[in-house]
């Protein structure tokens, strides 16, 4: 295996790398470092984020820097303040044992005077965002006439962000004979034209194929109806108790909305977008980096430069408008040798966007069913059991209480005790998901995927019986409460609820035809009542409605099913605060107001 020494780096640098835990060079480092050390030729490097490119350009430059000169010898341009700071930090770490060496980051949104003061002391390597760099050049505070290296990091992103003019200006004030190193994860036309216009016969290196995604990332897609998009998102979080993820949204507004909903539903989530102040963004990023925060909902731009290596999932709440952005999004996971999953939640209409992305990343999306309630419960239960298994018992504190505890639990055997303790923590979760519907828009799964998905079968109206119930809007009945009432009758497990029609003094609902008799019997046997009124349920003739007819109280049958399970849970969740951390990491309570379609819709309306 190649070592950093083999690549021609000196002892001081190798010592610093050892301190950082870098044992061997990554592929891009192995290719770029000897090239830059041995040749003055320009370099065009394809490198995904997270492949170690900072060291790939940083180390050979440090190796050749003249610390005895006060000139700025290298300028590294990066698209965002966060990335600039990250690069400067890395370079500072690499140069830990290089006496007299200085690096500084210059970026917008911070005091320019402070940055000028730093530059005045003599900085060998400047890492800057394009706007602030131009500003400092114009003020004659940043002198680039002696730079030997110009590095364009994430060149595609800089162009995406509209920094073409700034790049032109900066390139114009640097000496002709410098060495230009261009690093980019994708090579759209604009990047190629920068390379063509500003580089002289560049050597090309690439770790992996150009524009292709990392091999460490698997790509999955879920097909859901628009109204189930958010519920699908929650299920992804719920089925992965240890999820550490960025959810990408297309607009700042969408980002904030999704984050607000997740927070309201008890998830450990927060938003990151350009409408936040720099201080707010810094605080959110810090929380996410140190894993106090489990889910970050972010725009593409705001998430740039966030250096986290162990994301378990990248979730595309909606696919990006530009295909290249998908590569960047998915490249946030599967970094530094780790594996990751990139998930696209799409509606049937959006499926067409997957093919061109597949061509771009050179990989196929795998059609994946949205996790079922059962799968979620299983994963959460196992997580809970792991926690119980690993919990550190404080013997000295607990010993005094044990005799009276044993006395109280006398007569319960091991199995019974386990069941009860687990139920204590887990009942709310179970009841939330016990009748959770299938969220897959299975008719819409692509080609061969269709046959393989057995969970995606939707019941048609023929399988439903229609019931009359003698309570309505005037009794304060709404779809959620009706679902709760049906739930309370415990007719059968996983029974599906169809259309609901709430009228002033009576209502109709549909239930699985196979349980027609049981439904009538359950309501009778339980002497069901609603707000003090005796409830009477009868079978009524089925009314044929069109797809949208008779659906004014809710969405598809699957959507309602979610409300059904939520309906039972809502009472509980109102009565109590979240009791703690179910998943051990983030999910605090499984109940969710958003599971009540109508409640959610009306609250949205109020907001507007």
Judged by the rule CB under 6 A, the positions of this chain that interact with ligand AMP are: 22, 25-26, 29, 49-55, 307, 309, 335-336
| CB 241, CB 293: distance < 8 Å | no
For residue 397, the SS3 value is: helix
Q: Which helix (H) or strand (E) holds 344?
A: strand 340-346
Identify how many contiguous H helices and E strands the chain contains and give both numbers. Answer: 24, 20
For residues 207 and 184, give the distance between their C-alpha atoms in angstroms, rounded to a whole number: 11
Q: How is residue 209 annotated by DSSP? A: -
> What's 475's DSSP letter?
G
Neighbours of 563 (CB within 10 A): 30
Pick the closer one to ligand AMP by CB: 82 or 438: 82
Identity of the residue, 90 or 325, whose beta carbon is nearer to ligand AMP in the bound complex: 90
Q: Which two tokens stand for residue 591?
A: 């109940």
Find tokens 């992804």 and name the residue.
Answer: 236
Beta carbon of residue 149, minimum distance to ligand AMP (angstroms, whole number):
16
Taking the complex as a whole, the smallest distance from the CB of residue 52 to ligand AMP amounts, in Å, to 3
CB 478 within 8 A of CB 545: no
The CA-CA-CA angle for residues 443, 429, 569, to 5°, reads 85
Q: Closer to ligand AMP by CB, 329 or 481: give it.
A: 329
* Residue 305 Cβ vs ligand AMP, minimum distance, rounded to whole Å: 9
* Residue 289 or 374 with smaller CB distance to ligand AMP: 289
Nearest approach in angstroms of CB 311 to ligand AMP is 12
Partners of 464 in beta bridges: 512
- Least spacing, CB of residue 336 vs ligand AMP, in Å: 4
Residue 15: CB minimum distance to ligand AMP, A: 14
Distance, in Å, from the CA atom of 96 to the CA atom of 99, rounded to the nearest integer, reads: 8
By beta-carbon proximity to ligand AMP, the closer residue of 128 and 305 is 305
End-to-end, the C-alpha distance of the chain in Å comes to 60
Between 22 and 163, name the residue whose CB sits nearer to ligand AMP: 22
Q: Return d(Cα 25, Cα 572) in angstroms, integer.
A: 55
Q: Which is nearer to ligand AMP, 91 or 194 (CB)?
A: 91
Instruction: Report H helices in 121-225.
Output: 130-138, 155-160, 164-172, 189-198
What's the min distance (Å) between Cβ of 491 and ligand AMP? 55
Which of 51, 367 has the CB closer to ligand AMP? Answer: 51
Longest dimension (CA), the chain: 93
| Closest CB 442 distance from ligand AMP, rounded Å | 39
């Amino acid at each position: 295996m190649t070592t950093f020494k083999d690549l021609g780096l000196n002892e001081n640098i190798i010592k610093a790398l050892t301190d950082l835990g870098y044992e061997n060079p990554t592929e891009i480092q192995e290719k770029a470092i000897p090239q830059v050390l041995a040749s003055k030729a320009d370099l065009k490097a394809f490198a995904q984020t997270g492949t170690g490119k900072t060291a790939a350009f940083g180390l050979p430059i440090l190796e050749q820097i003249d610390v005895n000169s006060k000139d700025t010898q290298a300028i590294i341009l990066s698209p965002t303040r966060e990335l600039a700071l990250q690069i400067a930090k890395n370079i500072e770490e690499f140069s830990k044992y290089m006496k007299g060496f200085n690096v500084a980051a210059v970026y917008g949104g911070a005091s320019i005077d402070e940055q000028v003061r730093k530059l005045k002391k003599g900085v060998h390597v400047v890492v800057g965002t394009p706007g602030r760099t131009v500003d400092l050049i114009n003020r004659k505070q940043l002198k680039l006439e002696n730079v030997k290296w110009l590095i364009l990091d994430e060149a595609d992103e800089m162009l995406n962000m509209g920094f073409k003019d700034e790049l032109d200006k900066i390139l114009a004030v640097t000496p002709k004979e410098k060495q230009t190193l261009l690093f980019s994860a994708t090579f759209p036309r604009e990047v190629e034209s920068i390379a063509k216009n500003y580089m002289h016969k560049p050597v090309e290196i690439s770790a992996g194929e150009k524009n292709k995604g990392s091999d460490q990332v698997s790509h999955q897609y879920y097909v859901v109806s628009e109204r189930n998009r958010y519920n699908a998102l929650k299920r992804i979080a719920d089925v992965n108790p240890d999820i550490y993820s960025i959810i990408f949204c297309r607009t700042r507004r969408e980002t904030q909305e999704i984050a607000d909903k997740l927070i309201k539903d008890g998830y450990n989530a927060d938003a990151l977008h350009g409408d936040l102040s720099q201080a707010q963004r810094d605080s959110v990023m810090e929380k996410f980096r140190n894993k106090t925060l489990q889910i970050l909902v972010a725009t593409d731009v705001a998430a740039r430069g966030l250096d986290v290596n162990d994301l378990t999932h990248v979730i595309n709440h909606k696919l990006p408008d530009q295909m290249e952005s998908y590569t960047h999004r998915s490249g946030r996971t599967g970094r530094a040798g780790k594996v990751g999953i990139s998930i696209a939640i799409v509606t049937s209409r959006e499926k067409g966007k997957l093919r061109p992305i597949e061509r771009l990343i050179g990989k196929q999306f795998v059609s994946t069913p949205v996790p079922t309630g059962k799968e979620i419960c299983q994963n959460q239960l196992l997580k809970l059991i792991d926690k119980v298994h690993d919990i550190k018992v404080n013997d000295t504190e607990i010993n005094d209480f044990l005799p009276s505890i044993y006395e109280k639990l006398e007569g319960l055997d091991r199995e019974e005790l386990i069941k009860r303790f687990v139920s204590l923590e887990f009942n709310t979760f179970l009841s939330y998901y016990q009748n959770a519907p299938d969220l897959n828009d299975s008719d819409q799964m692509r080609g061969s995927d269709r046959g393989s998905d057995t969970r995606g079968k939707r019941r048609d109206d023929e399988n439903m019986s229609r019931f009359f119930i003698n309570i309505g809007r005037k009794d304060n009945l709404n779809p959620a409460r009706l679902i709760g009432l049906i739930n309370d009758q415990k007719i059968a497990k996983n029974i599906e609820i169809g259309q609901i029609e709430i009228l002033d003094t009576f209502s109709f609902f549909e239930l699985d035809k196979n349980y027609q008799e049981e439904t009538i019997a359950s309501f009778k046997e339980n002497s069901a009542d609603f707000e003090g009124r005796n409830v009477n349920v009868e079978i009524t003739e089925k009314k044929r409605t069109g797809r949208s007819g008779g659906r004014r109280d809710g969405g598809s049958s699957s959507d309602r099913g979610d409300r059904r399970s939520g309906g039972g849970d809502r009472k509980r969740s109102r009565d109590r605060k979240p009791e703690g951390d179910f998943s051990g990491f983030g999910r605090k309570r499984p109940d969710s107001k958003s599971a009540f379609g109508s409640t959610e819709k009306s609250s949205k309306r109020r907001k507007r």
